[in-house]
A and B are shown apart, each in its own frame.
With several copies, the nearest count.
Chain A
Amino acid sequence: MKKSSIIITSEKLKVQDCYDFVQDAACGGIALFVGTVRNHTKNKEVSHLNFSAYEPMALKEMQKIAALALAKFQIHKIAIHHAIGELQIGDIPVIIAVSSAHRKAAFEACEFAIDTLKETVPIWKKEHFNDGEIWVNSHP
């Protein structure tokens, strides 16, 4: 049985897809994190975002996160889906879903996965404003 679903796509991410993948008759709880595009950053209004990825490596790093989460926490399944391309305010760049028998493990694994993804997965966000654009995290 496949225990992880790792996807990078330029289609819209669906919470239901992640839920359906991790849901299991043996599990008592599902923790999810859904990232959404905010309309501002540091008091500046954002018009839209653009995500690009080093796709083959990003998929490998996401797979590593899933494998580590499955080893480290008592969880059943994990889904890590990331969108690339242009995203508008309210759109979903990332979804993490984790199922487990007991909820504590699902919460911990979900938080671990999103924290690690933001540190290690080679995906880059460009924020677009009315008067310009910026690669996030790239300027000292």
Chain B
Amino acid sequence: MKIQLLFFGITTDLVGENSIFYELKSVATVQDLKNELLLNYSKLKNIEEFAIAVNEEYAENDLVLKENDVVAIIPPVSGG
């Protein structure tokens, strides 16, 4: 299935993209996606951690992703 990936902050620089469409196996959790991303974009290992937001809400690792989800890679925030 296809999802949209958004990259922010340092992850934009590491991956070299703001937004891409991404092919994922049909049943995948947030944790599965994190594992895949670390394989496919090994530079993401340069940061200590990142969170995932699905459709503009923070997502737990066991959330199951759906077709057309908008998935954001959220490196440690530093607003304020």
Are the C-beta atoms of B78 and A114 separated by less than 8 Å? no
Are the C-beta atoms of B53 and A125 separated by less than 8 Å? no
Are the C-beta atoms of B8 and A124 separated by less than 8 Å? yes
Are the C-beta atoms of A57 and B9 separated by less than 8 Å? no
Are the C-beta atoms of B56 and A56 separated by less than 8 Å? yes
Q: Is A121 an interface residue (CB 8 A)?
A: yes
Contacts of B57 in A (CB 8 A): 57, 60
> In the complex, A58 Cα to B80 Cα: how many Å?
12
Binding site for A on B (CB under 8 A): 6, 8-10, 13, 46-48, 53, 56-58, 72, 74-80
Could you jot down 24 A-B contacts, CB within 8 Å?
Answer: A35-B80, A54-B6, A56-B56, A82-B79, A118-B78, A118-B80, A120-B77, A121-B80, A122-B72, A123-B77, A123-B79, A123-B80, A124-B8, A126-B9, A135-B9, A135-B13, A135-B75, A135-B78, A136-B78, A137-B76, A137-B77, A138-B9, A138-B10, A139-B47
Are the C-beta atoms of B56 and A60 separated by less than 8 Å? yes
Nearest CB in chain B: distance from A91 CB, A: 13
Point out which of B58, B77, B80 has the most chain A C-beta atoms below 10 A from its C-beta. B80
Q: Is A78 an interface residue (CB 8 A)?
A: no
Contacts of A94 in B (CB 8 A): 79-80
Are the C-beta atoms of B72 and A57 separated by less than 8 Å? yes
Closest to A29 in B: B80
